Structure 1
Amino acid sequence: MNLDTTIEFDLKKFFHWWGGELAFLVPSGLRRRLRDRQGYLIISPSRQGYLLEFFDDDKLIAQKSIASADTAGYQQLKNQYPAIEKTEVVLRLASEHALQRVIFLPAAAQENLQQVVGFELDRYTPFKPEQVYFSAVVLGKTEQGQIRVLLIVVPKNFLDQQLAAMEALAVPPHRVDYQATVSEFPQIRDAYNLLPERYRQRGSRLNQSIHWLLSGILLLLTIAALVGPVWLEGRAVDSLKSRIKQLEKQTRLVEAQQREIDALRGETQKLIDIKDQSPALLGVLAELSSLLKDDTWLTHLQYSNKHLQIQGQSPAASALISLLEGSAFFSKVSFVSPLTQDKTTGRERFQISSDVSMPVTIAAESANTGDDANSNDQSNSEQSPPEAIPEAAAEVKGD
């Protein structure tokens, strides 16, 4: 592949092709109204006069031969087919009336092709530029980088005579082409016109304005069809990005709140676990009340970190050790100081220490109760400190 190859792009040909392709999308009735010309009338000179052929969309509608000055014959055909009034009239020269030749020129000559061919015309034909009408059409490029050019030449005298005869028939042509070119190179049928500039007719300004207006609208619609979806997708993406940012911000807030909730739940669970593992003060007092007889009373009670220390008087203080150790609440029961006799009451003064633990049966019942009312326990634990953890010493005094 040669990377230095120049890509030629003819914008006029592209729009001509594009318009022809898009014309199929327009209803045929509307297409007929918008066109300056409908169909075409081919007039071919012959020895007897002219052969008239009326085509509508490449379909032969009528065919008639008339004499050179037979205006009535042409008028009769036009009356029979009124659509001829809006056809494109083409004067088609026979093979003996003109000549064509394929020539090769440098690629640089393509920019001013007609002028270059006009200067070199006597090299390629037996005519001088002032003797003929000519047209040059690019057919393509060769492997050597040259351009293939089809040169079509018709003598001025002959074509001027034919055009004068056409004026006498009141049938001014819109285009002049060559039969041999139409047969050999049908793809360039509309790419050239041998009709001199001074004979060429201008189309209706209104139709041309409508044509360009519709072409502009069609171009804008095409751009909108191509760009519109991309623009809408871009807006949708921007909207989604904005929504995602909002959701990310809300998500971060929710996650922070969830972390706080988890932390509070963990702390609450710790308190619940401590409560479940520690016997309640009321339970300890109730157990002491049930164990001690009425002749025994307490003057001091200190309870902290699952350790109990009591002071009091009893008729038989030594029996209290075995009595307390028989309870599931107390363990490691011992006297803190020797027993002494109170002279006033005659009872023994005692000071006993003991470890306190929650009995297994009571702990199981407490756990079941806690599972049934977990939400209430959590809410209560947030509002007030648990009753099961008294840090200060409690004192019970009696008379």
Structure 2
Amino acid sequence: MINNFFGDPETSRKMQSAVRRLGRTLKTVLFLSPANEVFVPQKQISIAVGTELLSIAHGSRFLNRIKIAGYKTYPFQEAGHSLPETVASTAALYCSQANVTHPQVMLCIPKAWTIIRTTELPAAAMENLSDVVAYELDRITPLRPDDAYYDYRILKAEGGRLQVAVAAARRETIDPYIKALAEKGLPVTKIDTNLAAVSAYLHYVWQEQDLIYLDIGSKTYEGGLLQAGVVVAGCTGSFNGNGSDECLLADVGENVAPWIERMEKANVSPQLVVHSRDGVQYASLERQLRIPLQVLTNDNLTIPGFQGEKAGDDVPHDAVGGVLSSLWTKSKAMNLLHRGRATKTSPPLTLTVILGAILLAMGILALFLPLHLENEKVTAIDREISARKDAVKKIESLRKEYSSLQDEFKAIEGFKQGKQITLQILKEMTVILPKSVWLTRGRINDATVAIEGYATSATDILPRIEASPYFSKVEFSSPTMRDARMNMDRFVIRMELEGIKKEEPKAKNGKKQ
């Protein structure tokens, strides 16, 4: 149906992928349990057994916020790996000093103890991949399923094939450490490599997923190829007590060169990150490999959520990464202890039904409760109106009286505005006419003014009126007569209004309205 709607196969594939992602998101949200690990505070301790150091870190997570609470490194007194009893005693002492109780325990093991391989399987194996990996383990690695701790991650699925990364370790090597830690009250719940822990650290802190990582110490080194946050290949070696000079770094470069070629074939820009402890110079290694090289020192190793002061010069990013890989829900680290069996949790349908019923009840309340409250408000308002009916009548009477006064006020204002021009004309006449002039009558129309009166000389007042900006076309409307009794001229003058200008409408399209 989607293909018919969009037509273009590429567009339809993208839409189908988007719909599937949306469906998975909705499923996650709808079936999310309040008892989900995201909502439950969790404490984690990571014990990283290295070739020269024993590193321990612990932290916690609540509401997906991860905090590293503390860490410490313990140098080995002798060459090689520390004994199980020593590791367990040191971890118990650390927990006692750091006041860590009942934590989840992750054991990070060195690359020398593990075998890391990638293999391809038919896409049909996806239906029962755990059994397929167990069946094929002795072909992929030299170990049989009963003799190994192992796990896998799917790297990609395309062309009817699955590319799978597999990591395995001998049980006889790991079991003594698990037993010794359990005797100290620290049961191991997760096992992975130090390289995988470092990969989780780089992914969490730097958002780096595809790179080559090297950890070079004073006597040994180990490295790994990280693809999409998963360790897909690894190497390890020792310097036989000679130190990490340029010749030995060249040997390291020989192990890394095939990984660079592999990344270039996958169209991924090769990137090399080297962890340095002893200030070794890597210019020769960078010249040999011809790729960008970034040196990771203790100065630029950040500790997520850590609020204390850095304990010493060594920051155990492998142990810190072990805590992150266990607590971070987006981590791609493996758990060899599961031996390929994924932990499946059934959706909490009962809890979902209960929550759905609660949401339905809340929806009904949200729908009808406002109506009930509004009806209660209306009833209360009606009671208030009835109680104040007399006051309301008085208010209505005052409103009517106020309205009547407003009408009268408007009438007075209109009268004033209509008589304003008359007052202006009378004022102008008072100003321009001599004091010897007597007016007996005046008539003011819309456009004309007529005045009658007596003056010593009627012809003398005509120019005065014409000079006023208010009047034009000033003329005698009847002959002037001499009043012998008053010894003054009787006159009747008519004129047109001109001085008072009314506002003209604004122009529109260059023409007056």
TM-score of Structure 1 vs Structure 2, range by shorter chain: 0.3 to 0.5
Instruction: Tell me which protein shows more strand as a share of its residues.
Output: 2
Q: Normalising to structure 1: TM-score of the pair?
A: 0.41
RCO (CA 8 Å, sep 6+): is it higher in 1 or 2?
2
Which structure has the bigger radius of gyration? Answer: 1
